[in-house]
Structure 1
Amino acid sequence: MCVAAILAVACGASAMLTPVTLDAAKAAGELRLWRSARLQSRPVELWELRLFFKRSDRDLQAQLGLVQTKSRDATVRALAVSVALSFVGSAAVSNADFISSDARTTLALGVGLLPYAVLSAGLAIPATLRAGLNSVLRVYPPTRRRQAYHEAGHFLVGYMAGLPIEGYSVSAAETAVRFGELDGDADLIDSVSCISMAGIAAEVISFGNAAGGLDDLAQLRVLLARAAVTKRSVQDARIRWATLMALTLLQREEGALHALFRAFERGDDLPECVLAIENAARASNNGAPSQNA
């Protein structure tokens, strides 16, 4: 029985996949990538990470999307534009003879306060503003494509590590892969570390660099702290290893990564996503060239 038939029988009418379902297909010899990654941390040197970049002389943190320069530059530009608009607007309102004196004063004051409103909003509700901006940017095709690859990286490494996947979203409202409860199993910290860095790794494999990995990194540091890995240098060492492993796995299964991206673009359900990556892995194993996205 082929993998498609096994998944169809095991899942029935539901789009849910369980580890039991996938284990059964694995035992039948129909799944190659499910639980294929054996992850155990080891010391990693920075030069090992640099091998994945064409320009190894550049800032590694920036290439991994782990610096805030773009966000900071965008904030400075927004503030500069608001100051310029405030100046021009105030001058225009003050010289508008067709508006009453009291109205001109009120409008000029309001326009003059624009930069302070922008700055205050950014300080008071940065997460809300960033979430709104991200929703807008996801409509932009290059951003949507990059974020879809980012989530495909999380999905694929999680699948290879054998973690339960409950769903995914790559819409303008949300981009995320939803994994099942892990029951606080400390033995899974290596797998969770690799999955956390897999979004960054997928961007590097697909585009040569990553545009945003700060949220993933911050979340991973929290998870490491909960697992009693609290010393910063020890966390950094684990993160280097997790990044290297995610890059290695996704480079090895690049065909499956591209196939999963295309499945995300089509809006495939979970069994169809599994079918896409397993078929790509089988084609790659048989020597057939993988089709890029």
Structure 2
Amino acid sequence: MATLFAHFAASVGHSVRPLESTLRRLETSRKWRIGASLAGPGVNLEALETAIAKKDSDAVKATLDQLNVAGWAKKWSSQPYVSRRMTSLRELTTLGIKNAENLANPSVRNDAALLFTILGATGFLAVIAGHLPGDWGFFVPYLIGSIPLMVLALGSISPGLLQAAISGFSSFFPDHRERIARHEAAHFLVAYLIGLPILHYSLDIGKEHVNLGDERLQKLLYSGSLDDKELDRLAVVSMAGLAAEGLKYDKVLGQSADLFTLQRFINRSKPSLSKDQQQNLTRWAVLFAASLLKNNRRAHEALISTMSSKGTVIDCIKAIENSSQSGDAGRKEAER
């Protein structure tokens, strides 16, 4: 009887296995087709476009998570875990940051350039006006000479207007637009790698920004209850622009806004940090961000090009992912 039962069970098993195998193959084939359709050139990003257009950060994250599982958005949230540690200036220098000891010192290049231009121009005009006939030769140079004082007075009364003038004047420097693109692309890329959705960005002079969207983080910011984990993530994104400039240029020009943003995050965190802890957080965040940028140099350069061409957020995401895929293909080809 036992033998008969065993034979019956075995016969049932043999009849069921082909059916199960066929079903598994069909399911695998269906999943492969879905993954291939999303990972190929004809990837469907309509849901992502809709979520970004609606400024729905939760929907953006959910859609990117789905694209990641499907095998397309491989770079999305590929660096979700960051952990602060003690960091020295030597480590920044070793990584390739130029003049690491001066990163936190605001650059006065643009300010000085505007001031000397105003002084030079008004001085030249005052000399010419001094040759005017009669009393005009006295009053006109006097009025022209007061222009620098008026500019300084405007700066003390309305610093925002003076800063806008400095930003506009900075556009005459040949490296200014490239700096802005490199700076903002770094914020965009590092946020994407860490898993923070981007809803908008701008490279317009005086309005440079990358708009992150994360409702949960916004609630923590408003309540002043950022924990160490979230503070570390935001710190890395905040210092990404500074890190990008530090890797490329001898002097960093866009660090003031980044440091101000980081300080705002620190002020909204619990427990509060001492001055030494804040300094270490800043150094570590620069180091971590710079490491991500160096390890994803191809994606960063592709993103700089796309943002400089005023591509959409979707275009920027495509640039990141396509550069990743082309890099993988290149490595596989080299291995062969």
The two structures have a TM-score, normalised by structure 1, of 0.83
Q: Does 1:2 align with 2:38?
A: yes
Partner of 1:2: helix, strand, or coil?
helix
Question: Which protein has the bigger helix share?
Answer: 2
CA distance 1:267–1:116, change in 2 (3 Å): closer
Q: Which of residues 266, 279, 288 in structure 2 aligns to 1:245?
A: 288
Matches within 5 A, 1:38-117: 38-53=81-96, 59-62=99-102, 64=103, 66-71=105-110, 73-74=112-113, 77-78=116-117, 80-81=119-120, 84-85=123-124, 88=127, 92-93=129-130, 95-97=131-133, 100-101=134-135, 103-117=136-150
> Would you say the 8 A contact 1:49–1:244 is kept in 2?
yes
Aligned to 1:177: 210
Q: 2:308 & 2:208 partners in 1: Cα distance?
A: 12
Q: 2:97 & 2:195 partners in 1: Cα distance?
A: 31
**1:94-143, CA deviations, whole angstroms, 9 ceiling, x for partnerless residues?**
x422xx53x55542431232332232223222322122331343465521
Identity over aligned residues, as a percent? 27
Letter in 2 for 1:60: A
Letter in 2 for 1:132: A
Counting matched residue pairs gives 279
Calculate the aligned-residue CA RMSD, in Å.
2.8
**1:208-253, CA deviations, whole angstroms, 9 ceiling, x for partnerless residues?**
6533212211221121012143422111111111000000000000
The two structures have a TM-score, normalised by structure 2, of 0.73
Which of the pair has more CA radius of gyration? Answer: 2
Q: Which moved more, 1:110-119 or 1:248-257?
A: 110-119
> Would you say the 8 A contact 1:190–1:242 is kept in 2?
yes
- In the alignment, structure 2 segments of 5+ residues that lack a partner are 1-36, 54-58, 221-225
CA distance 1:61–1:73, change in 2 (3 Å): farther
Q: Which of residues 185, 200, 213 in structure 2 aligns to 1:167?
A: 200
Q: Does 1:21 align with 2:63?
A: yes
Aligned to 2:324: 281
Q: Does 1:254 align with 2:297?
A: yes
Partner of 1:67: helix, strand, or coil?
coil
Q: Which moved more, 1:32-41 or 1:221-230?
A: 221-230
Q: Which moved more, 1:217-226 or 1:125-134?
A: 125-134
Q: Which moved more, 1:174-183 or 1:103-112?
A: 103-112
Larger RCO: 1 or 2 (CA < 8 Å, sep 6+): 1
> Would you say the 8 A contact 2:97–2:247 is kept in 1?
no
> Would you say the 8 A contact 1:86–1:114 is kept in 2?
no
Letter in 2 for 1:11: L
- In the alignment, structure 1 segments of 5+ residues that lack a partner are none
